[in-house]
Structures are given as structure tokens and as C-alpha cells.
Amino acid sequence: MDIIITESKMNSVVTKWLDRKYSNLIPKKHILTTTFTNESGDGMFHYSYGDVTIENENLQSDLVNMFNLSRYDLNQIVKPWFEQTYGMDVDLVQYTTFHCNRCGKYHPTKHHIDE
């Protein structure tokens, strides 16, 4: 049995999940950038010149594997959540990418993904 989740439901589910897990990050400001870390000091997001990069491999893996978010989805869901939660204007949200030795492409996880 396939379950179909509408776009608005997916947005709501991901936003609630982000709120629960990542709404209390600590901003560490540098001269021109800000890194958002958890209580353990692990970097989760990096903000620079309006761009947000998801730095944490586990967070990134969850967004890709649990929610199947594409680059487009990141900017439709994570961008407004980040702006509202941390009060910063965001132009673009992006994954960190990893080179895949199997296919030669870049993926948002360290493991090969059929795209």
C-alpha cells in the first residue's frame, strides 16, 4: 500500500520535525558568517552572505532519506523555517555534497544514490 503525502502536509511534517530538533541552536557569529551549533558544539547550519549550508551529515541524511527532500524542496521548506526561527534573510539553502566514487557524480550523502 502506497501512502501519498500532499505537498502542504510534507511541509508541515518537516517544519514540525525541524522545530522539535533544531529550533534551539546556538548562533556563533564570526566576522562575516554565522555557524549554528547544537549544545555539543556540532555545526548544523552555516550562514554566509544570505546562503545557508546544511553542514551536519546526520541532519542532511535525515532530510534526504526520511523526507526525500530535493534542492528545490529545501528552499520551499527549510528556507522559510530558518528565516522564521532565526530571523535571518535567506537567499538559498543548500546541502553539502560528496563525490561518489561509484558513479562520479556528487550526492547529498556519502553513499551512492540512484537519481
- pLDDT by residue (tens digit) across 19-61? 999 999 999 999 999 999 999 999 999 999 999 999 888 898 8
Amino acid at 89: D
pTM of the model: 0.81
Distance between alpha carbon 106 and the CA centroid of its chain, in Å? 16
- Report the 10 Å Cβ neighbour count for 79: 17
How confident is the model at residue 115, as a pLDDT? 65
Residues 6+ apart with CB under 8 A from 103: 112
